[in-house]
Structures are given as structure tokens and as C-alpha cells.
Amino acid sequence: MNQVTLLGNLTKDPELKKSKDTDVSYTQFTLAVHERTSRKEKKTYFIEVVAFHKQAVLITRSVTKGQQILVQGKIVTDSYINKEGEKVYTTKVVLEDFSLTGRKPVQKEASEEAVS
């Protein structure tokens, strides 16, 4: 079974893109997942997540930077050759479902920041 569930915060706003070859909608984003290792220590993992088709459209419309979401998906690995000719291995989560778990982060308006 290949299934993963992660709770974390988006590190930036997701952007909807289309693949050049197949015209498939997708978005790729990083999820900051926090783990408490002891009472005083906390470790953060930055996990790459990719969503396709309707899920990609939904996530770009409903989630913003800093917002907490619950992601369910599967882990996939891949590799490619970089510019230096070295083989690079990647690991990502392919999103199958997500839930909004926290409120959207409060965005300060430019006029409020100017007054401060």
C-alpha cells in the first residue's frame, strides 16, 4: 500500500500550470510539515506535493501561502540528469485529496502597513 497523510502549511501560493506535451492542468507546491521531537524541539520537513486536473484547479483557487491543509496522496520517486550530467533523485507526494483545516492567514492591506 502506498498512501501518505500530511498536515502542514503551504510555503507559497500555488500556481495553476499546463504541461506542454499533454495539456494537463497541474500545480506543484511545498508543504511545511512540523514534527515535535521533544518538549522544546520541533523539526520541520519541506515536502513537495503535485496535484493534477480538478484537484490542481481546486487547490489553486482555495488555498494560499501559510494556510494549513491536510493532504492525502501517494509517494512517487523519479530521477533526471542535471546540467552537470549527474543523476538526481526526487521524491514527491501526488495529491489524491485534501481538506482545509485552518483559517486563511490574515493578509495585511497596503494601507494598514503604511499607517503602522
Given a cut of 70, whether residue 114 has pLDDT beyond it is no
| pLDDT tens by residue, 53-99 | 999 999 999 999 999 999 999 999 999 999 999 999 999 999 999 99
Which region among 35-44, 46-55, 66-75, 99-108 has the lowest average model confidence (pLDDT)?
99-108
Q: Does an H or E element contain 37, and which?
A: none
* Domains detected in the chain: 4-115 (2.40.50.140)
Given a cut of 80, whether residue 102 has pLDDT beyond it is no
pLDDT score at 39: 81
Strands 87-100 and 17-18 come out as unpaired
Q: Which residues contact 21 (CB under 8 A, 6 or more apart)?
A: none
| Cβ atoms < 10 Å from Cβ of 27 | 21
Phi, psi (deg, nearest 5) at residue 86: -95, 145
Is 0.85 surpassed by the pTM of this model? Answer: no
* DSSP conformation class of 62: H
